[in-house]
Amino acid sequence: MGRDMSQTAPSTASVAELAEALIACPSVTPAAGMVFDCLEGQLKPLGFEVVRFVAGEAPDGPVENLFAIRKGPEGSRHFAFAGHLDVVPPGEGWTSAPFMPERRGELLYGRGAVDMKGSIAAMVAAVREIPQDAGTISFVITGDEEGPARFGTVALIDLMRERGDIPDLCLVGEPTSVNRLGDMMKIGRRGSVNIFLEVEGTQGHVAYPHLAHNPITPLVAMLAELNGLLLDEGTDWFQASNLEVTDITVGNPAHNVIPAKAMARISIRFNDLHTGAELGARVTEIAEKHGGTARPVISGEAFLTEPGAFSDLLADAIRAETGVEPELSTSGGTSDARFLKDISPVIEFGLCNATMHKRDEAVALEDLEVLARIYRRTVQNALKA
Protein backbone atom coordinates (compact mmCIF):
# COMPACT_ATOMS: atom_id res chain seq x y z
CA MET A 1 0.00 0.00 0.00
CA GLY A 2 1.02 3.64 -0.40
CA ARG A 3 2.76 5.41 2.49
CA ASP A 4 1.45 8.56 4.18
CA MET A 5 4.28 11.08 3.85
CA SER A 6 2.47 13.83 5.73
CA GLN A 7 4.20 12.89 8.99
CA THR A 8 7.55 11.88 7.49
CA ALA A 9 10.40 14.40 7.59
CA PRO A 10 12.28 14.75 4.27
CA SER A 11 15.55 14.51 6.17
CA THR A 12 14.76 10.97 7.38
CA ALA A 13 12.46 9.58 4.67
CA SER A 14 13.74 6.76 2.49
CA VAL A 15 14.11 7.36 -1.21
CA ALA A 16 11.05 5.19 -1.80
CA GLU A 17 8.99 7.30 0.61
CA LEU A 18 10.08 10.48 -1.13
CA ALA A 19 9.09 8.94 -4.48
CA GLU A 20 5.74 7.74 -3.11
CA ALA A 21 4.89 11.24 -1.94
CA LEU A 22 5.52 12.63 -5.43
CA ILE A 23 3.69 9.80 -7.22
CA ALA A 24 0.65 10.33 -4.98
CA CYS A 25 0.22 13.82 -6.49
CA PRO A 26 -1.61 13.43 -9.84
CA SER A 27 0.40 15.47 -12.34
CA VAL A 28 -0.59 14.66 -15.92
CA THR A 29 1.14 17.21 -18.12
CA PRO A 30 1.09 20.14 -17.61
CA ALA A 31 1.69 19.52 -13.91
CA ALA A 32 0.87 22.20 -11.36
CA GLY A 33 0.05 22.78 -7.73
CA MET A 34 0.15 19.80 -5.41
CA VAL A 35 3.17 17.99 -6.83
CA PHE A 36 5.22 21.20 -6.69
CA ASP A 37 4.04 21.75 -3.11
CA CYS A 38 5.35 18.28 -2.33
CA LEU A 39 8.79 18.82 -3.84
CA GLU A 40 9.07 22.24 -2.23
CA GLY A 41 8.28 20.60 1.10
CA GLN A 42 11.10 18.13 0.54
CA LEU A 43 13.69 20.75 -0.44
CA LYS A 44 13.08 23.67 1.92
CA PRO A 45 14.00 21.75 5.10
CA LEU A 46 17.32 20.91 3.40
CA GLY A 47 18.21 24.59 3.12
CA PHE A 48 17.11 25.28 -0.44
CA GLU A 49 15.70 28.59 -1.60
CA VAL A 50 12.68 27.64 -3.72
CA VAL A 51 11.35 29.83 -6.52
CA ARG A 52 8.10 28.83 -8.22
CA PHE A 53 6.55 30.64 -11.16
CA VAL A 54 4.10 30.19 -13.99
CA ALA A 55 5.05 30.98 -17.59
CA GLY A 56 3.24 31.15 -20.91
CA GLU A 57 -0.31 31.39 -22.15
CA ALA A 58 -2.68 29.08 -23.99
CA PRO A 59 -2.50 26.96 -26.04
CA ASP A 60 0.91 25.73 -24.76
CA GLY A 61 0.73 27.38 -21.35
CA PRO A 62 0.46 28.28 -18.59
CA VAL A 63 3.22 26.04 -17.18
CA GLU A 64 4.39 25.85 -13.57
CA ASN A 65 8.12 25.61 -12.92
CA LEU A 66 10.40 25.33 -9.90
CA PHE A 67 13.98 26.46 -9.38
CA ALA A 68 15.62 25.60 -6.07
CA ILE A 69 19.14 26.48 -5.03
CA ARG A 70 21.36 26.02 -2.02
CA LYS A 71 24.40 28.21 -2.43
CA GLY A 72 27.82 27.20 -1.26
CA PRO A 73 30.78 29.46 -0.48
CA GLU A 74 31.49 32.33 -2.85
CA GLY A 75 33.23 31.05 -5.97
CA SER A 76 32.40 27.39 -5.35
CA ARG A 77 31.31 25.11 -8.16
CA HIS A 78 27.65 24.77 -9.04
CA PHE A 79 26.04 21.40 -9.86
CA ALA A 80 22.45 21.29 -11.16
CA PHE A 81 19.91 18.49 -11.24
CA ALA A 82 17.20 18.86 -13.86
CA GLY A 83 13.96 17.03 -14.54
CA HIS A 84 10.19 17.16 -14.73
CA LEU A 85 7.27 16.46 -12.43
CA ASP A 86 4.67 16.04 -15.17
CA VAL A 87 3.73 12.58 -16.40
CA VAL A 88 1.91 11.16 -19.39
CA PRO A 89 -1.74 10.12 -18.95
CA PRO A 90 -1.91 6.76 -17.16
CA GLY A 91 -4.36 5.09 -19.54
CA GLU A 92 -6.56 2.15 -18.60
CA GLY A 93 -5.94 -1.33 -17.25
CA TRP A 94 -3.63 -0.70 -14.29
CA THR A 95 -3.39 -3.42 -11.66
CA SER A 96 -3.44 -0.71 -8.98
CA ALA A 97 -4.47 2.95 -9.08
CA PRO A 98 -1.75 4.86 -11.00
CA PHE A 99 -1.59 7.73 -8.50
CA MET A 100 -1.80 5.57 -5.39
CA PRO A 101 1.79 4.28 -5.10
CA GLU A 102 1.91 0.65 -4.13
CA ARG A 103 4.79 -1.63 -3.18
CA ARG A 104 4.45 -5.19 -4.35
CA GLY A 105 7.42 -7.39 -3.69
CA GLU A 106 10.60 -5.58 -4.71
CA LEU A 107 8.85 -3.02 -6.92
CA LEU A 108 7.13 0.33 -6.41
CA TYR A 109 4.24 0.91 -8.81
CA GLY A 110 2.76 4.23 -9.91
CA ARG A 111 2.73 6.67 -12.81
CA GLY A 112 6.03 8.51 -12.76
CA ALA A 113 7.89 5.82 -10.80
CA VAL A 114 10.69 5.84 -13.37
CA ASP A 115 9.79 8.84 -15.55
CA MET A 116 10.78 10.62 -13.51
CA LYS A 117 9.55 11.11 -9.96
CA GLY A 118 11.74 8.25 -8.79
CA SER A 119 14.84 10.01 -10.10
CA ILE A 120 13.82 13.31 -8.51
CA ALA A 121 13.36 11.53 -5.18
CA ALA A 122 16.87 10.09 -5.58
CA MET A 123 18.20 13.59 -6.24
CA VAL A 124 16.62 14.89 -3.04
CA ALA A 125 18.01 12.00 -1.04
CA ALA A 126 21.44 12.49 -2.61
CA VAL A 127 21.86 16.14 -1.65
CA ARG A 128 20.69 15.94 1.96
CA GLU A 129 23.97 14.31 2.99
CA ILE A 130 26.15 16.82 1.17
CA PRO A 131 27.22 19.73 3.39
CA GLN A 132 26.41 23.22 2.18
CA ASP A 133 30.04 24.29 2.24
CA ALA A 134 30.82 21.64 -0.42
CA GLY A 135 29.42 23.88 -3.14
CA THR A 136 26.25 25.12 -4.82
CA ILE A 137 23.48 22.68 -5.78
CA SER A 138 20.30 23.49 -7.68
CA PHE A 139 17.15 21.81 -8.99
CA VAL A 140 15.73 22.83 -12.36
CA ILE A 141 12.24 21.28 -12.46
CA THR A 142 9.45 21.84 -14.98
CA GLY A 143 5.84 20.73 -15.20
CA ASP A 144 5.78 20.42 -18.99
CA GLU A 145 8.49 18.14 -20.37
CA GLU A 146 5.97 15.60 -21.65
CA GLY A 147 3.94 18.33 -23.38
CA PRO A 148 4.83 21.11 -25.84
CA ALA A 149 7.75 22.18 -23.57
CA ARG A 150 7.61 25.79 -24.76
CA PHE A 151 7.32 27.43 -21.34
CA GLY A 152 9.08 24.92 -19.10
CA THR A 153 12.84 24.46 -19.06
CA VAL A 154 13.25 27.33 -21.55
CA ALA A 155 11.64 29.69 -19.02
CA LEU A 156 13.74 28.22 -16.21
CA ILE A 157 16.90 28.92 -18.18
CA ASP A 158 15.79 32.53 -18.64
CA LEU A 159 15.34 32.81 -14.86
CA MET A 160 18.75 31.28 -14.16
CA ARG A 161 20.40 33.71 -16.57
CA GLU A 162 18.63 36.66 -14.95
CA ARG A 163 19.80 35.52 -11.50
CA GLY A 164 23.31 34.66 -12.66
CA ASP A 165 22.90 31.12 -11.37
CA ILE A 166 24.48 29.20 -14.24
CA PRO A 167 25.70 25.71 -13.30
CA ASP A 168 29.09 24.29 -14.15
CA LEU A 169 27.52 20.87 -14.82
CA CYS A 170 23.94 19.64 -15.20
CA LEU A 171 22.59 16.12 -14.78
CA VAL A 172 19.12 15.30 -16.14
CA GLY A 173 17.41 12.37 -14.43
CA GLU A 174 15.70 10.82 -17.45
CA PRO A 175 15.39 7.00 -17.33
CA THR A 176 18.36 6.07 -19.51
CA SER A 177 19.22 2.61 -18.18
CA VAL A 178 18.11 -0.28 -20.37
CA ASN A 179 18.63 -3.76 -18.89
CA ARG A 180 19.98 -2.83 -15.47
CA LEU A 181 20.66 0.35 -13.57
CA GLY A 182 23.84 1.98 -14.79
CA ASP A 183 24.24 0.36 -18.19
CA MET A 184 23.67 3.55 -20.22
CA MET A 185 24.02 7.30 -19.93
CA LYS A 186 23.12 9.81 -22.63
CA ILE A 187 25.87 12.25 -23.62
CA GLY A 188 23.86 13.77 -26.45
CA ARG A 189 20.67 13.55 -28.44
CA ARG A 190 19.66 13.80 -32.04
CA GLY A 191 17.73 16.86 -33.13
CA SER A 192 14.09 16.81 -34.17
CA VAL A 193 12.13 18.71 -36.81
CA ASN A 194 8.54 18.13 -37.87
CA ILE A 195 7.60 19.50 -41.28
CA PHE A 196 4.02 20.10 -42.39
CA LEU A 197 3.50 19.68 -46.14
CA GLU A 198 0.59 20.97 -48.19
CA VAL A 199 -0.47 20.93 -51.85
CA GLU A 200 -3.37 23.03 -53.11
CA GLY A 201 -5.50 21.58 -55.88
CA THR A 202 -8.70 22.37 -57.70
CA GLN A 203 -11.80 20.47 -56.60
CA GLY A 204 -13.84 18.79 -59.27
CA HIS A 205 -15.78 15.71 -60.41
CA VAL A 206 -13.68 12.61 -60.93
CA ALA A 207 -15.36 12.09 -64.33
CA TYR A 208 -14.05 15.45 -65.52
CA PRO A 209 -10.41 15.50 -64.41
CA HIS A 210 -9.49 18.09 -67.04
CA LEU A 211 -11.59 20.59 -65.06
CA ALA A 212 -9.81 19.88 -61.79
CA HIS A 213 -6.33 19.48 -60.35
CA ASN A 214 -5.74 16.55 -58.03
CA PRO A 215 -3.31 17.57 -55.22
CA ILE A 216 -2.77 13.99 -54.09
CA THR A 217 -0.68 13.10 -57.14
CA PRO A 218 2.06 15.72 -56.55
CA LEU A 219 1.93 15.07 -52.79
CA VAL A 220 2.62 11.37 -53.35
CA ALA A 221 5.49 12.22 -55.69
CA MET A 222 6.87 14.66 -53.13
CA LEU A 223 6.74 12.05 -50.36
CA ALA A 224 8.37 9.46 -52.60
CA GLU A 225 11.30 11.77 -53.25
CA LEU A 226 11.62 12.66 -49.57
CA ASN A 227 11.42 9.01 -48.56
CA GLY A 228 14.28 8.23 -50.92
CA LEU A 229 16.68 10.72 -49.35
CA LEU A 230 19.80 9.36 -47.68
CA LEU A 231 20.58 12.05 -45.18
CA ASP A 232 23.80 10.50 -43.87
CA GLU A 233 25.28 7.24 -42.60
CA GLY A 234 25.85 8.29 -39.01
CA THR A 235 28.90 9.59 -37.14
CA ASP A 236 31.22 8.39 -34.41
CA TRP A 237 28.67 9.15 -31.70
CA PHE A 238 25.37 9.34 -33.59
CA GLN A 239 23.26 6.90 -35.55
CA ALA A 240 22.12 7.84 -39.05
CA SER A 241 19.50 10.54 -39.40
CA ASN A 242 16.08 9.27 -40.43
CA LEU A 243 13.06 10.81 -42.13
CA GLU A 244 9.62 9.31 -41.49
CA VAL A 245 6.20 10.13 -42.93
CA THR A 246 3.95 10.45 -39.88
CA ASP A 247 0.65 11.63 -41.36
CA ILE A 248 -1.23 11.96 -44.65
CA THR A 249 -4.51 13.86 -44.61
CA VAL A 250 -6.97 14.58 -47.40
CA GLY A 251 -10.27 14.57 -45.54
CA ASN A 252 -12.36 13.82 -48.58
CA PRO A 253 -15.63 12.03 -47.71
CA ALA A 254 -16.87 11.82 -51.29
CA HIS A 255 -15.79 8.99 -53.59
CA ASN A 256 -16.54 10.95 -56.76
CA VAL A 257 -14.81 14.25 -55.92
CA ILE A 258 -11.24 15.28 -56.63
CA PRO A 259 -10.19 17.05 -53.40
CA ALA A 260 -9.06 20.65 -53.14
CA LYS A 261 -6.16 20.06 -50.79
CA ALA A 262 -3.81 17.29 -49.60
CA MET A 263 -1.53 17.46 -46.57
CA ALA A 264 1.16 15.38 -44.94
CA ARG A 265 3.62 15.55 -42.07
CA ILE A 266 7.14 14.22 -41.83
CA SER A 267 9.44 13.90 -38.84
CA ILE A 268 13.23 13.98 -39.12
CA ARG A 269 15.51 12.91 -36.27
CA PHE A 270 18.94 14.17 -37.20
CA ASN A 271 22.51 13.97 -35.95
CA ASP A 272 25.10 16.72 -35.62
CA LEU A 273 25.85 16.73 -39.36
CA HIS A 274 22.68 18.78 -39.80
CA THR A 275 20.67 21.63 -38.34
CA GLY A 276 16.91 21.92 -38.22
CA ALA A 277 17.00 25.01 -40.42
CA GLU A 278 19.12 23.32 -43.08
CA LEU A 279 16.83 20.30 -43.24
CA GLY A 280 13.75 22.52 -43.30
CA ALA A 281 15.17 24.42 -46.25
CA ARG A 282 16.03 21.19 -48.08
CA VAL A 283 12.53 19.78 -47.65
CA THR A 284 10.97 23.12 -48.63
CA GLU A 285 12.90 23.09 -51.91
CA ILE A 286 11.58 19.60 -52.73
CA ALA A 287 8.04 20.55 -51.71
CA GLU A 288 8.06 23.62 -53.93
CA LYS A 289 9.40 21.60 -56.86
CA HIS A 290 6.23 19.52 -56.64
CA GLY A 291 3.97 22.53 -56.33
CA GLY A 292 3.57 22.40 -52.58
CA THR A 293 4.63 24.22 -49.43
CA ALA A 294 6.49 23.17 -46.30
CA ARG A 295 6.33 24.53 -42.74
CA PRO A 296 9.17 23.28 -40.52
CA VAL A 297 8.79 23.25 -36.72
CA ILE A 298 12.12 22.58 -34.99
CA SER A 299 11.83 20.85 -31.60
CA GLY A 300 15.54 20.81 -30.86
CA GLU A 301 19.01 20.65 -32.36
CA ALA A 302 21.42 17.76 -32.09
CA PHE A 303 24.05 18.13 -29.39
CA LEU A 304 26.95 16.22 -27.91
CA THR A 305 28.64 16.60 -24.55
CA GLU A 306 32.07 15.36 -25.51
CA PRO A 307 33.25 12.38 -23.46
CA GLY A 308 35.64 13.62 -20.82
CA ALA A 309 35.73 14.80 -17.23
CA PHE A 310 31.94 14.91 -16.69
CA SER A 311 31.15 11.51 -18.20
CA ASP A 312 34.19 10.04 -16.42
CA LEU A 313 33.12 11.13 -12.95
CA LEU A 314 29.58 9.87 -13.54
CA ALA A 315 30.90 6.56 -14.88
CA ASP A 316 33.19 6.26 -11.84
CA ALA A 317 30.20 6.69 -9.52
CA ILE A 318 28.17 4.11 -11.46
CA ARG A 319 31.01 1.56 -11.35
CA ALA A 320 31.58 2.16 -7.65
CA GLU A 321 27.92 1.52 -6.76
CA THR A 322 26.93 -1.14 -9.31
CA GLY A 323 30.06 -2.63 -10.87
CA VAL A 324 28.53 -1.82 -14.26
CA GLU A 325 30.46 -0.18 -17.10
CA PRO A 326 28.02 2.37 -18.62
CA GLU A 327 27.64 2.77 -22.35
CA LEU A 328 27.88 6.35 -23.61
CA SER A 329 24.97 6.82 -26.00
CA THR A 330 23.05 9.43 -28.01
CA SER A 331 20.13 7.17 -28.87
CA GLY A 332 16.45 7.74 -28.18
CA GLY A 333 14.14 10.70 -28.47
CA THR A 334 14.47 14.27 -27.30
CA SER A 335 14.55 15.56 -23.74
CA ASP A 336 14.93 18.92 -22.06
CA ALA A 337 18.68 18.42 -22.23
CA ARG A 338 18.30 19.95 -25.69
CA PHE A 339 17.69 23.29 -23.96
CA LEU A 340 20.04 22.92 -21.01
CA LYS A 341 23.03 22.25 -23.26
CA ASP A 342 22.94 25.97 -24.13
CA ILE A 343 24.06 26.95 -20.61
CA SER A 344 26.04 23.99 -19.30
CA PRO A 345 27.59 20.64 -20.16
CA VAL A 346 24.72 18.20 -19.69
CA ILE A 347 24.40 14.42 -19.34
CA GLU A 348 21.29 12.32 -18.77
CA PHE A 349 21.27 9.39 -16.40
CA GLY A 350 18.54 7.64 -14.49
CA LEU A 351 16.47 4.53 -13.84
CA CYS A 352 15.62 1.59 -16.09
CA ASN A 353 13.21 2.70 -18.81
CA ALA A 354 11.41 -0.58 -19.60
CA THR A 355 8.08 0.53 -18.10
CA MET A 356 8.08 4.27 -18.75
CA HIS A 357 4.87 5.53 -20.38
CA LYS A 358 3.35 2.05 -19.93
CA ARG A 359 0.57 0.91 -17.64
CA ASP A 360 1.84 -0.57 -14.36
CA GLU A 361 4.95 1.61 -14.50
CA ALA A 362 7.27 0.37 -11.77
CA VAL A 363 10.73 0.86 -10.30
CA ALA A 364 12.86 -1.53 -8.29
CA LEU A 365 13.08 -0.30 -4.70
CA GLU A 366 16.77 -1.18 -4.56
CA ASP A 367 17.43 0.86 -7.71
CA LEU A 368 16.06 3.96 -6.01
CA GLU A 369 18.56 3.60 -3.18
CA VAL A 370 21.46 2.84 -5.51
CA LEU A 371 20.59 5.75 -7.81
CA ALA A 372 20.65 8.13 -4.84
CA ARG A 373 24.14 6.91 -3.96
CA ILE A 374 25.32 7.31 -7.57
CA TYR A 375 23.96 10.85 -7.66
CA ARG A 376 25.59 11.65 -4.32
CA ARG A 377 29.02 10.43 -5.44
CA THR A 378 28.69 12.33 -8.70
CA VAL A 379 27.81 15.63 -7.02
CA GLN A 380 30.51 15.28 -4.38
CA ASN A 381 33.20 14.62 -6.97
CA ALA A 382 31.90 17.32 -9.33
CA LEU A 383 31.98 19.98 -6.61
CA LYS A 384 35.57 19.04 -5.76
CA ALA A 385 36.79 19.29 -9.35
Numbered residues of the known binding site: 84, 115, 146, 174, 357
Asked whether the beta carbons of 18 and 365 are under 8 A apart, the reply is: no
Active site residue 145: yes
Active site residue 198: no
Reduced to 3 states (helix: H, G, I; strand: E, B; else coil), residue 330 is coil
CA 345/CA 160 separation, integer angstroms: 15
Q: Which residues are annotated as a binding site for Zn(2+)?
A: 84, 115, 146, 174, 357
CA 177/CA 320 separation, integer angstroms: 16
Asked whether the beta carbons of 5 and 20 are under 8 A apart, the reply is: yes
The CA-to-CA distance between both ends of the chain, in Å, stands at: 43
* Dihedral angle of Cα 106, 173, 32, 159, to the nearest 10 degrees: 160
Of 20, 102, 144, 145, catalytic: 145
Cβ count near 94 (within 10 Å): 18
CA 156/CA 35 separation, integer angstroms: 17
Looking only at the bridges linking them, the beta strands covering 107-109 and 362-364 are antiparallel
Alpha-carbon torsion (374, 78, 152, 330), positive or negative: negative
Of 20, 64, 86, 301, catalytic: 86
CA 135/CA 35 separation, integer angstroms: 27
Reduced to 3 states (helix: H, G, I; strand: E, B; else coil), residue 331 is coil
Angle CA 336–26–83, to nearest 5: 20
E strands of the chain, at which residues?
A: 49-55, 63-70, 78-84, 102-104, 107-109, 136-142, 169-172, 184-186, 188-189, 191-200, 204-205, 242-249, 257-258, 261-270, 292-300, 303-304, 327-329, 346-348, 362-364
Looking only at the bridges linking them, the beta strands covering 362-364 and 242-249 are unpaired
Q: Measure Cα distances from 343 to 1, 165, 334 in Å.
A: 42, 10, 17
Helices (H), the chain: 15-23, 34-43, 117-127, 153-163, 216-227, 276-289, 309-322, 337-340, 365-384
Cβ count near 377 (within 10 Å): 19
Catalytic annotation, residues: 86, 145
